Structure 1
């Protein structure tokens, strides 16, 4: 059996800012390739890849990813304790049960990338 995992590739206007923001979210440094303009961060089995995009405008970003977890509420409580803003960029929206059967939270990072995190609700 082959293990298949997806690793989203998102823009970063500044790798140091990206590393700091995601470090606060529990992500660890994986590797950085300065000449290629590439950064890898990870938390548990999730890898987020970033490409250097100095001209990227956070307010017009249309990049995002959905991360499936066992319990979005637990992660939501962890992120809530960080006192992230609830408006603007960056921002955090607490986990809530959505009508489509997913309990999900949302984080917008410093580059406007949307990170949705959720789990399927019991029916």
Structure 2
């Protein structure tokens, strides 16, 4: 995963807001909905590392995943490009906007078509 200047600035701004007040800290860190595909080792490892109760496995069906996304504040995923583009339209219709998108390296499988992405509420 590459670290960009934009993500560093976002991180420092977020850290400053979190340090400022407990109320801001509570609002600044909503639990993300994690989207992954358990058939891809890197994607499954990504979901396991997030340690969240809110996760959608695309191996169970993309149509089911699209129906399961109901107005979250933050959605993050490590998926194939085709899954990402299909889900992106559903999430944009619910008011989420793209905040980060990176082509991810996949050392376990040698795949080059995985994308790490995050969408947040406006």
Q: By percentage of residues, which structure has more strand? A: 1
| TM-score, shorter chain, exceeding 0.5 | no
Give the TM-score of the pair, scaled to structure 1. 0.30
Q: By percentage of residues, which structure has more helix? A: 2
Give the TM-score of the pair, scaled to structure 2. 0.30
